[in-house]
Amino acid sequence: GQLFSLARIIRKTQNTSDKIVVVVGTVTCDNRLIKVPKLKVCALRCTEGARSAILKNGGSVLTFEELAVQAPFGAKYCTVTGKKNCPRNQQTFWSCWFTKYSRQNHSLEPKTGIMKWL
């Protein structure tokens, strides 16, 4: 998966105050930050430094199971994606799937998005 620093998450979500930030990847701590705003972050993994910085300022760190309970219809959340110049499998939600299975075994139909096995 992709690494996301707290500085990037704060920069990308400046105008979303009450929303849950969804990150498909690992949230890492950024020691250059002086103040971390109150955040609700849902991520696959979160380092101890990032978790303590978020919790110290009144935020919360959620798992995807807790996100499904809190926002079952997908309301009030925003996603943070990877850089556009990184590999395609790290830009979208497929990154967790590609790390588990080989990319050589399947391909996606371009128009329908249906996965077919080779």
How confident is the model over 55-94, as pLDDT tens digits? 999 999 999 999 989 888 878 888 887 666 666 555 554 4
Q: Which residues contact 72 (CB under 8 A, 6 or more apart)?
A: none
**In the predicted model, is pLDDT for residue 101 greater than 70?**
no
For residue 90, the model assigns a pLDDT of 55
Q: How far apart are CA 102 and CA 85, in angstroms?
A: 21
